[in-house]
Amino acid sequence: MKEDQSQKPLLEAQNIELRYNDKPILKELSMDILSGGVTALLGTNGSGKSTLLKTMARLLMPQKGCVYLDGHAIAKESPRSLARKMAILPQSPEVPMAITVRELVEQGRYPHVGPLRMLKKQDHAAIEEALEVTGMQAFEQRPLDSLSGGERQRAWIAMAIAQSTPVLMLDEPTTFLDVRHQLEILELVRRLNQERGTTIIVVLHDLNQAARYADRMVVLKDGRIVRDGTPDRVLTEAVLQEVFGIHATVLKDPVAGTPIFLPHSVVHREG
Amino acid sequence: MNKLIRNRNPYEMTYKIGLLAALLLVLILCVMHIAFGKVVISPQHILRALANVQEEEHHRQIIWQLRLPRTLIALVAGAMLGLAGAILQSITRNPLAEPGLLGVSAGSVLMIVIWITFADGLGDATRYLPLVAWTGGIGTVLFVNALSLGKGMDITRLALVGILTGSVLQSCTSLILLRHTEAVGSILLWMIGSLNGRVWVHWDMLWPWALVIIPLGLLSAGAANALQLGQSTAASLGVSVRRMRWMMLILAAVLTAGAVAAVGAIGFIGLIGPHIARRLVGQDARRLFPFSTVVTGVLLLGADVIAQAVSFELHVFGLSSQVSLPVGAVTAFMGAPFFLYLIKQKRKSH
């Protein structure tokens, strides 16, 4: 499932520099994303992982550098044409909404039909598929504000899926969910990648989960990429100590075979 | 059975029934609105007068010259305020947003007051009131927007600047009021909002604009739906967030100023109408916008029926026959407690 097509990157960030209030968040950062994989962006709070995701989705504009999708600079694309190529689900917007799940998922068709044709009820196969793949069919007429956190998150993901884009980005999709719902979301993400070939970039907090579900782990620290590779190569005791500041033991997950860590203590730095 | 219930949109049903009920209410309120006033006219007389029966000449005059235009203005001005409120609540994602929020009403009123105090004697002054109000309203939106421009389009900041600008503009109006005590009566009516003395001239300056702007507002529902999912989500759906939001702000400003030009700064109605509508038909703008429009029209008409009835009572009790309650006082008097009730209810349900 990895790197099955040409080796030309699908998405390419080149020398990205982004400052917020004069504070540099991303520093001369470059990254390539090949078509078809699940890439997890990781790092401590404030490492710039979310910022990198938003920059690649053009929700933020870098002061320097450029992001290319299929060889075209995304900064020059029209919003709607870009939204037909990639979807991003921002960190879950916790506003109670009195609209039904189906009405939310319908919004995913916006880039395909535009504001005026969105006045009509959208009736597209992509909507049914999105409801089905997320298991939200039974909930389609339920108001969003009557759902549990996990169900709501799945509804939002369904909206992004209905957008039918080859690239899907998710910003901490498992935050605030209990462990079962976290796994549900991650399994869904994995399935989207395997069954539909969707290229997925996801910001995650949980390193063990990232190792379990991603093909590639990219670790950021202070706005730079410090580790990049398969879970086996990235989730190591050295990385945990240097980047995340903890002493830990890395084991092999007896079921999945992926690396898994057990934290022991905080690294106390001198001075 | 279960599947049937599951597959039905819960808001859709309320929407259809609600629209029917609202239209029925419009009819009933129209009759009441025409009936009440200093002279109470019975429904038979109304029908006969509307049919231009000869011996009803007196009633015919009252209805055709005084009451009917007022009824229509109440409905349409209310509708415009309701739609403006719904648009603002959607794009700011704040249920407390209302037409007065961005200082639009205050700006329009100030310009109107300046116009009627200083341009009096220009003859056809009333005809230009909408333009005057729009200058004030749109000017205020531009000003507020320019001041709150910073990184992105921060809605909280926009609202804050809007409220502050609104109060400054309002105190300007008060200053004029203090300088021109002879015009206190009419200035106050603009500030509170009133339908007294609204006749065909006012209707003629209201309807052409309403006919253009209300449909435009309703057509913006598709974009509003995306916008109310939040700035980032809307952007990821391919919405040009800044441009769309800007266009809808202007739309709301134009709707508000149009209504203010006809009836003054009527408070609360543009807040409560959309609020009631949202509770009944949900947040999908494709239902919310038309429903808010109708509901708020009904509310303003209902409030004016009360205003007229109360004015009439005062007359009976031997007070000055000139006393007539401005409808803006009714909406504030009934609207504020009603709103408190809604807020309290909402607390309970969560």
Q: What is the pLDDT of residues A73-98, one digit of tens each?
A: 999 999 999 999 999 999 866 566 89
**Rounded Cα–Cα distance for residues A170 and A182 (Å):** 13
Closest CA to A205 of A48, A91, A45: A45
- C-alpha span between B331 and A83 (Å, rounded): 44
Contacts of A54 in chain B (CB under 8 A): 232
Q: Residue B1: what pLDDT?
A: 38
In whole angstroms, what separates CA B221 from the centre of its chain? 18
Distance CA B133, CA B113 (A): 9
Q: What is the amino acid identity at position B79?
A: A
CA–CA separation, A227 and A192 (whole Å): 26
3-class secondary-structure state, position B176 = helix
d(C-alpha A154, C-alpha A173), whole Å: 9
Nearest Cα residue to A251 out of A241, A265, A261:
A261
Residue A12 has phi, psi (to 5 degrees) of -140, 120
Instruction: Please give chain B's pLDDT, 350 residues, in tens.
Output: 344 455 788 899 899 999 999 999 999 999 898 888 778 888 888 888 877 777 778 888 888 888 899 999 999 999 999 999 999 999 888 887 888 878 889 999 999 888 888 776 555 667 778 888 888 988 998 888 888 776 555 677 888 888 899 999 999 998 988 888 777 777 888 888 888 888 888 898 889 889 999 999 999 999 999 999 988 999 999 999 888 988 998 899 999 999 998 899 998 899 999 999 999 999 999 999 999 999 999 999 999 999 888 876 655 555 554 567 889 989 988 888 887 887 777 655 44
Write the DSSP string, B293-319. HHHHHHHHHHHHHHHHHHHHHHHHTTS
In sequence order, which ranges of chain A are alpha helices (DSSP H)? 49-56, 79-83, 101-106, 110-117, 125-133, 149-162, 179-196, 207-213, 231-234, 237-242
Average pLDDT over residues A89-117: 88
> Which helix or strand (DSSP H or E) is residue A202 part of?
strand A199-203
**B220 φ, ψ to 5°?**
-80, 0
Specify the 3-state DSSP secondary structure of A271: coil
Of all residues in chain A, the one with the smallest CA distance to B279 is A98
CA distance B266 to B193: 4
| Total Cβ atoms within 10 A of residue A79 | 18
B226 vs A111: CB contact, 8 Å cut-off? no
Q: Which residue of A has its CA nearest to B244?
A: A115
Taking CB atoms and an 8 Å cutoff, what residues of chain A touch B91?
Answer: none
User: By C-alpha distance, which of A238, A233, A231 is closest to A256?
Assistant: A231
pLDDT of residue A217: 97
As given in the structure block, the two tokens for residue A105 are: 């998922």
Distance in angstroms (rounded) separating the CA atoms of residues A176 and A243: 24
Q: State whether A54 and B232 contact (CB < 8 Å).
A: yes
Quickly list H helices, B2-67.
Answer: 2-6, 10-35, 43-50, 57-61
Question: CA-CA distance, B268 to B335, in Å (whole number)?
Answer: 6
Residue of A nearest to B238 (CA): A80
Q: CA–CA separation, B49 vs A177, rounded Å?
A: 67
Determine contact, residues B282/A143, Cβ cutoff 8 Å.
Answer: yes
pLDDT of residue B192: 87
Q: Which residues of chain A does B292 touch, with a Cβ-Cβ cutoff of 8 Å?
A: none
R_g of chain B, CA atoms, integer Å: 21
Separation between Cα atoms, residue A114 and residue B330, nearest integer Å: 42
pLDDT of residue B334: 83
DSSP string, B84-127: HHHHHHHHHT-TT--TTTTTHHHHHHHHHHHHHHHSTTSSSGGG
Question: Looking at the predicted structure, is the pLDDT value of residue A171 above 80?
Answer: yes
Pairing type for strands A216-221 and A38-43 reads parallel
CB atoms A90 and B238 under 8 Å: no
CB B92 within 8 A of CB B241: no
Contact A92, B252 (CB under 8 A): no
pTM: 0.90
What residue ranges define each of the domains in chain B, with the CATH number in brackets? Answer: 76-349 (1.10.3470.10)
**B338 vs A68: which has the higher pLDDT:** A68
Which class for B240: exposed (0-12), middle (13-18), buried (19 or more C-beta within 10 A)?
Answer: middle
| Pick from A208, A99, A71, A83: nearest CA to B221 | A99
Phi/psi of residue B224, each to 5°?
-60, -40
Residue A3 has pLDDT above 50, yes or no: no
Tokens 């699908």, located at residue: A10
Centre a 10 Å sphere on the Cβ of residue B118 and count the other Cβ atoms it contains.
11
Distance from CA of B73 to the nearest CA of A (A): 28
How sure is the predictor about A1, in pLDDT bands with cuts at 50, 70 and 90?
Answer: very low
Which helix (H) or strand (E) is B324 found in, with range? none
Cβ atoms within 10 Å, residue A5 = 10
Is B9 in Cβ contact with A79 (below 8 Å)? no
Contact B222, A118 (CB under 8 A): yes
Q: What is the ipTM of this complex?
A: 0.90
**A86-89 and A72-73 beta bridge pairing:** unpaired
Q: How far is CA A24 from the centre of its chain?
A: 22
Tens-place pLDDT, residues A130-146? 999 999 999 999 999 89
Asked if A80's CB is within 8 angstroms of B233's CB, the reply is no
- % of chain A with per-residue pLDDT over 90: 81
Please tell me the distance from the alpha carbon of residue A30 to that of residue A16, in angstroms, as a whole number. Answer: 6
CB–CB of A81 and B222 under 8 A?
A: no
Query: What is the distance between the alpha carbons of residues B223 and A127, in angstroms, rounded to a whole number?
Result: 19
- CB contacts of A63 in chain B (<8 Å) are none
User: Which residue from A minimizes the CA distance to B8?
Assistant: A141
The token pair at B307 is 């205003």
Contact status, residue B164 vs residue B102, Cβ threshold 8 Å: no
Determine the Cα–Cα distance for residues A160 and B233; give it in Å rounded to an integer.
9
- The amino acid occupying position A213 is Y
Cβ contact, residue pair B8, A141, below 8 Å: yes
Please give the backbone phi and psi of residue B178, each rounded to the nearest 5 degrees, phi first.
Answer: -70, -35
Residue carrying structure tokens 């690649």: A56
